Structure 1
Amino acid sequence: MHYHFKVHKETRGYWAECVELEGCVTQGNTLKELQSNMEEALNLYLDEPSGSTFLAPLPNDKLDRSKKLVQVAVDPEIAFAFMVRYHRIKRKMTQKQAAKKLGMSNLYSYQRLERKCNATLAVIAKVKNLFPEFSVDFAF
């Protein structure tokens, strides 16, 4: 999963804003530092607290790279958690309802899916079964 940042040159350094995510901005003294800061800002923006109902927009895959538009990858574990939360909220399900439909023994087990996690193939299959439109490829 990649989002797009517009990079701006300043007198002393750079700053960048995510085109798809309002308020996701960062800065850096060098382009290398800016790149690292864009990744950090993006991951922090998408890593919502458990139980959050905020639904960030998905990346716009129609945006092309240019000198001032840079693709920034989301950490795969955060991308997976974001996509699980995204599809649950789109379906207007509570975490408890999703946990029950996934056959999880307790709510905490489900909540871990909506946090940075390393899901097993068995869990990924259950998520895909519950949310058929969920794309594992999109999360990576």
Structure 2
Amino acid sequence: MKYHFEIHKEKKGYWAECIELEGCSTQADSRDELLENMKEALNLYLDEPEDSKIDFPLPKKRVKKVEQIVTVAVNSKVAFALLLRHARHEKKLSQTKMAKLLNYKSVFSYQKLESSKSANPTLLKVQRLKEVLPNLRLDLLFS
């Protein structure tokens, strides 16, 4: 999953802002440092607590191609948690309801899937998630 950042050059360095995520921005002295800072800023911005109600927009498929716009990949664990939360919100399901649909004994077991720090589902778990949430956009993890 990749978001788009617009890079701006200043007299003493650079700054960049994410096109899709208002308020996600960073700065640096060099362009190379800026690219690293954009990755860090993006992942920190999207890495919400598992009980968060914030639903960030997914990246745009296309943006104007200009030299100042670059794509920045989201960490796969952060992306998985974001996509899972997004799909659950689209279906208007609570974490408690998801835990029940997945036959979990506690909501905490489900919440771990929506946390980038603990999300590491098996293929069988991913298959079950896709059955419960057919709108889960796993393809975005690899694009």
Give me the TM-score of the superposition, normalised by structure 2.
0.93
Unaligned runs of 5+ in 1: none
User: Which region of structure 1 is more displaced relative to structure 2, 38-47 or 60-69?
Assistant: 60-69
Give the CA deviation at 1:109.
Answer: 1.1
Give the CA deviation at 1:103.
Answer: 1.6
Separation in 2, partners of 1:49, 1:30: 31
Separation in 2, partners of 1:85, 1:54: 9
Query: What does residue 92 of structure 1 align with?
Result: 92
Query: What does residue 136 of structure 2 align with?
Result: 134
Once the two structures are superposed, the pairs formed by residues 1-140 of structure 1 within 5 Å of their partners are 1-116=1-116, 117-140=119-142
- Structure 1 runs of 4+ aligned residues shifted over 3 Å read none
Give the CA deviation at 1:64.
Answer: 4.5
Give the CA deviation at 1:51.
Answer: 1.2
Please report the RMSD computed on the Cα atoms of aligned residues, expressed in angstroms.
Answer: 1.1
Per-residue CA deviation, residues 72-124 of structure 1 (Å, 9 max, x unaligned), is 00001110010000111111111110111112221111111101122211111
Give me the TM-score of the superposition, normalised by structure 1.
0.95
> Contact conserved, 1:65 with 1:71, CA < 8 A, in 2?
no
Give the CA deviation at 1:63.
Answer: 1.4
Distance 1:65 1:39, change over 3 A: farther
Separation in 2, partners of 1:63, 1:100: 39
How many residues of Structure 1 are paired with residues of Structure 2 in the alignment?
140
- Secondary structure of 1:56's counterpart equals coil
